Structure 1
């Protein structure tokens, strides 16, 4: 068995305690989410709260791929978070990661610093009367535009993956989470509009966001709206069709 434990220098004094939590993951901390694929737990050490994500154990083929051909999700999460921060993009601070290998990747964990957020993007979808909704959408669009301008293609740009902090005075901060699927590449207009597709936007939301993006990108509002709507509806139709097929089985 071989372990690869990487920790940010700022948190090296806590390395031993964090490693103890990882080794005894089933017994330490409190559950944040407990899904079939991934588990997230919260732990407090010396006054600092950390979130630890344990990724699903890969199958035999995947475990070999992750050892020799591709970076693990934990390593990608750590490296991508570090890149985002370098670009001035908010994400919970990357503290470290652990990979455990034995004939392939057996376990992997990603550690980040906990942030206290007020709501996530999903609430804007479910509650059309959410306070200051249009302003939050406009600022979110500026946040997404900054991603695109820096060549960041966040492949999981979906409602649950943006946490929002209300700083008061109509000022909001946006934090990306679940970072292991990301590409760093130049993004043309088509790719930028395609990147909005997973957000499950209504026509009203698209109107607000398209107007803001068009201003930032100096593109006509009509074509921006049409392209954003096209990709959003295409994605929603695909997901709804899958759900319908599952119900029929």
Structure 2
């Protein structure tokens, strides 16, 4: 077993040796699919545990000797950008026959009220424009810190109402780039929101104001990436016989 624990959460260290049984015992499932995410209580702390799907044989070799595992990357990235994410607690890699098998990433539970999806799909959602302005500011701060989330999609953007304002956190950190972002990078990062043209214009308008950029130029490029992403995703859906949407 390989692991690392955030020193701020030393009270959770004993969880590492029983992580597999504790994870199986929990019936509070937050997400189930390729990877499974559960909420558990341990030593008075609410935790979120993400269990990564066991890699195929080739990837077990890669993650054991040549690349960081997804669990370890999630932990390291969380520490690197701690202001913007639920606080990292630990990662654990369980090995079989010298190769990685199961792996887990543990972070503090962020008691959010909604994701950015809520106002994007409901035109009557309360405070939509205020949320969009706060979201634009959050995204601008990410970009100014050289943070590019490559899966900046609605379900990965959590929002908590806090004293009349909104606090944002991002999750699912396996696909991250850290670099000086170009203008194109910044506008491309909005594409996975699957926002309507009107909603995206509102978000980008505030982003342009904060960044001191020309509003029309930002909106034009952001919309171009937005439409391109929708065309590509809908094309793939049609190939699979799935319904498409705008």
Range of TM-score over shorter length: over 0.9
TM-score when scaled to structure 2?
0.94
Once the two structures are TM-superposed, the CA of residue 69 in structure 1 deviates from its matched residue by: 1.4
* 1:138-177 correspondence to structure 2 within 5 Å: 138-169=133-164, 171-177=165-171
- 1:34–1:216 distance in 2 versus 1, CA, 3 Å: closer
CA contact (8 A) 1:28 1:43 kept: no
Distance 2:121 2:50 in 1: 27
Distance 1:236 1:52 in 2: 32
Once the two structures are TM-superposed, the CA of residue 33 in structure 1 deviates from its matched residue by: 3.5
Distance 1:107 1:144 in 2: 33
In terms of mean alpha carbon deviation, does 44-53 or 222-231 score higher? 44-53
Q: Would you say how many aligned residue pairs link Structure 1 and Structure 2?
A: 241
Distance 1:105 1:14 in 2: 22
1:109 partnered with 2:104: yes
3-state SS of paired residue (1:14): helix
Give the gaps of 5 or more residues in structure 2: none
Summarize deviations over 1:229-249 as a string: whole Å, max 9, x none.
00011001100110010018x
CA contact (8 A) 2:23 2:40 kept: no
Q: Identify which of 72, 78, 81 aligns with 1:81.
A: 78
3-state SS of paired residue (2:85): coil
In terms of mean alpha carbon deviation, does 5-14 or 192-201 score higher? 5-14
Alignment RMSD, CA only?
1.4
Q: Identify which of 66, 70, 77 aligns with 1:69.
A: 66
Give the gaps of 5 or more residues in structure 1: none
Once the two structures are TM-superposed, the CA of residue 20 in structure 1 deviates from its matched residue by: 4.3
1:216: which partner in 2?
A: 210
Distance 1:142 1:242 in 2: 32
TM-score when scaled to structure 1?
0.93
In terms of mean alpha carbon deviation, does 21-30 or 123-132 score higher? 21-30
1:11: which partner in 2?
A: 9
Distance 2:8 2:31 in 1: 29
